[in-house]
Structure 1
Amino acid sequence: MNLLPVLGELLRCPNVSHAANRLHLTQSTVSGSLKQLRLLFEDDLLVQRGREMVLTEKAKELRPAVERLLEQASRLFCAETFDPATAANCFRIATADYVSALVTSRLGPVLQANAPGVSITLTPTPGTTAKDLRLGVVDLIICPNRRENWEACGIAAHDPEFCHEVFIRDRLVAIQSANRSLAERPLALADYLARPHAMYCRTDGQPTIEQETLAQMGLVQRIQFLVPYFTLLPQLVVDSHLVALIPLSLANHYARLFPLDVFEPPVPFPSLDLVMIGACHRADRADLYWLRKIVRDSASSFLDIGNEGGCLETASACAPTDVDVTTAGTPLLPPRALARPGHGENRYRVSEESVSPSSSALISFPQ
């Protein structure tokens, strides 16, 4: 049993000196434990590749089981409780700029009323990696449920180390200035494409949903601005002749601040589902369960706003929308209702098309 924490730390970070620092042990002690583990498993576990150590295939297979054992042992010897009223946790969430804008406006009052000592740091998803989740540097990643977004964080769609929950189904809508001299509705496809556009672009060079859809349909629109932030688009559109495409949740938010005209684009864009991703070995922690709950509850306020136009809905756990994982073997937990405790029957409609029976490779968060 005394080798288990050393094994767990080496599997998370295959570096003897770093593992020793995190375990508050000497480097020689960790090196000695590694020798014992190699004998026990009849495998090198860590091997030199260039200037760094990497895990062997055997070590990669062991990692999920070891993480579960460590988590179970932690709960056995230390019954975890979390009281938001007295907690002083600093949570870290990596997410897109527009999600940050929406979340902060709704979580601020929640923290002030129920968890005054808790703080939340929001960081951009570019640069966030699977390793950050695994080591607890980041508690949650919130991003669109697309292959490109998962892979940008170094997470494969079938990776059993990570839990997920698609907690809201958003979609893209068009915006333009509500100034009567500028607004033109309805816009035919040719007129829409001819209008000057402000477009969101990814900083990693990968195509966005908008760019991908237009390319697949062979359509070209006039682009006047390319910006890396969705939150800039409403400000660019105001008092201009520009048209932009943004998530409906963001459009509803900014329509209360700026004179915006929100309308259906004449191009059928796919849905923009948002997913929470976390490390499975930390998913049962009481503080992270609470964090996911308040994020989920904040999503219900997006839903309430969106339902004024009948447009937004929460969604059950499902695979990235463009990822085929039919050959994977780990069973997905059954879709769960997202009703808040004490509120009885689920008041959010779950779209059946959002639940993919073939999504067997992905593990949903414990509820």
Structure 2
Amino acid sequence: MNFKTLDLNLLRVFDAVMAERNLTRAAARLALTQPAVSNALRRFRESVGEELLTRATHGVVPTPFAEKLWPQVRAALDQLRAALDPGEFDPHRDAVSFRLAMADATAAVLLPPLIDHIEAEQALVNLRVIPLTTRDPRALVERGEIDVAVGYFPEAIAELVSQGAESALRHQRLNESEYVCVMRSGHPLAEGELTLDAFCQAHHLLVSFSGRPHGFVDQALASLNRTRRIVLTVNQFFTAGRVVARSDLLTVLPASFVVATGYQSQLVERPLPMPMARIHVEAMWHMRHDSVSAHQWLRERLVDASRPRPGVTIPASPHPDS
């Protein structure tokens, strides 16, 4: 590839298509026609000498080469934007789209106050929320597929802390919670102290994005040489709340999420009969966004939206394998 003759506008098109995974949406984002986007992609493909995308049912799928190239292109474009337009972000004037990744429980409680902030400021901001189905969002953040991940990522955060300034990722604690045992009102175990024997003998529901039939609770039980029977594994906290409210299954949820299930009046919380670590909700983003004023504005609003309100705190999810 001859960089001297490369049309840098092609990088903007490539970035938009990689972000949207759809030519029509990318064209709308760039205020171009779809044929113009297709033509730009063809020219970029010819310039780099590698295939970039393959067609899919609902859009396009990047090739491994494109996936490897995109973070570098995105970082370069962000640096150019910051250098050429260093002015402060004006939410009333600047239309910006952000991609957030979080679990359903987190979104249910975090988004209403976040939208309240955006509406109150009459900000020209669009949010695209992507379901977070992994325990470790670092790859998503590094590749630029999302702007901010919000949730409980203990292993990832521990590694970032150990790496210190060497890491390209940044994080900020938003809130914290604890796990509790949840059951329907009127459950035989709803009254009195929940003992370890009773907990282990009961039937359980596990929330697991990975589909694995074990989680943190099972690790805690294993340390005590105990086990439990998991009858049902689901991948949504809302589903867990509904099923538990209508059955004799027990589940373990962040205490801050129970109110967000919509079934709080039908559920009973009990302290777990074994020690469990507290859950810390973190925001994670890439350092390339550190000095971008629009991203700084978003992170400030996330902090505001995460502040405790009467009866509500941010659910410490994901990391649902509990």
TM bucket, shorter chain: 0.5 to 0.7
CA contact (8 A) 1:163 1:280 kept: yes
Residues 279, 24 of structure 1: alpha-carbon distance in 2 compared, 3 angstrom cutoff: farther
TM-score normalised over the length of structure 1? 0.60
Counterpart CA distance in 1 for 2:315 and 2:109 is: 16
Task: Choose from 146, 155, 159 the match for 1:147.
Answer: 155
Counterpart CA distance in 2 for 1:206 and 1:148 is: 21
How many angstroms does 1:104 deviate by?
2.5
Task: Choose from 272, 293, 296 the match for 1:289.
Answer: 296
2:272 maps to 265
1:183 maps to 190
How many angstroms does 1:135 deviate by?
5.0
Counterpart amino acid of 2:150?
I
Structure 1 residue runs without a partner (length 5+): 14-20, 32-50, 315-367
Task: Choose from 213, 222, 233 the match for 1:215.
Answer: 222
Counterpart CA distance in 2 for 1:256 and 1:265 is: 20
CA contact (8 A) 1:202 1:228 kept: yes
Counterpart amino acid of 1:133?
V
Counterpart CA distance in 2 for 1:294 and 1:260 is: 32
Counterpart amino acid of 1:300?
R
Counterpart CA distance in 1 for 2:246 and 2:213 is: 30
**What are the Cα deviations for residues 312-352 of structure 1, in whole angstroms up to 9, with x where unaligned?**
999xxxxxxxxxxxxxxxxxxxxxxxxxxxxxxxxxxxxxx
How many angstroms does 1:165 deviate by?
1.2
CA contact (8 A) 1:145 1:272 kept: no
How many angstroms does 1:249 deviate by?
1.2
1:77 maps to 84
How many angstroms does 1:171 deviate by?
1.5
How many angstroms does 1:141 deviate by?
1.1
CA contact (8 A) 2:207 2:234 kept: yes
Task: Choose from 187, 193, 209 the match for 1:202.
Answer: 209
Higher relative contact order (CA 8 A, sep 6+): 2
How many angstroms does 1:99 deviate by?
1.0
Counterpart CA distance in 2 for 1:78 and 1:208 is: 47
2:228 is paired with a residue whose SS is: coil
1:220 is paired with a residue whose SS is: coil
Residues 250, 282 of structure 1: alpha-carbon distance in 2 compared, 3 angstrom cutoff: same
Counterpart CA distance in 2 for 1:23 and 1:134 is: 23
Counterpart CA distance in 1 for 2:301 and 2:285 is: 15
How many angstroms does 1:54 deviate by?
10
1:81 is paired with a residue whose SS is: coil
Counterpart amino acid of 2:110?
V
1:305 maps to 311
Task: Choose from 122, 132, 154 the match for 1:125.
Answer: 132
2:24 maps to none
Structure 2 residue runs without a partner (length 5+): 16-38, 50-62, 317-322
Task: Choose from 237, 251, 258 the match for 1:251.
Answer: 258
How many angstroms does 1:130 deviate by?
4.6
1:141 is paired with a residue whose SS is: strand
1:258 is paired with a residue whose SS is: helix
Q: Pick which of 266-275 and 217-226 moved more.
A: 217-226
How many angstroms does 1:70 deviate by?
7.1
Matched, 1:99 2:106: yes
- Percent identity reads 18
Residues 77, 196 of structure 1: alpha-carbon distance in 2 compared, 3 angstrom cutoff: same
1:251 is paired with a residue whose SS is: helix
Counterpart CA distance in 2 for 1:188 and 1:79 is: 60
How many angstroms does 1:79 deviate by?
2.0
Residues 55, 82 of structure 1: alpha-carbon distance in 2 compared, 3 angstrom cutoff: closer
Residues 86, 262 of structure 1: alpha-carbon distance in 2 compared, 3 angstrom cutoff: farther
1:298 is paired with a residue whose SS is: helix
1:250 is paired with a residue whose SS is: helix
CA RMSD across the alignment: 4.6
Matched, 1:137 2:145: yes
2:53 maps to none
Q: How many residues align?
A: 275
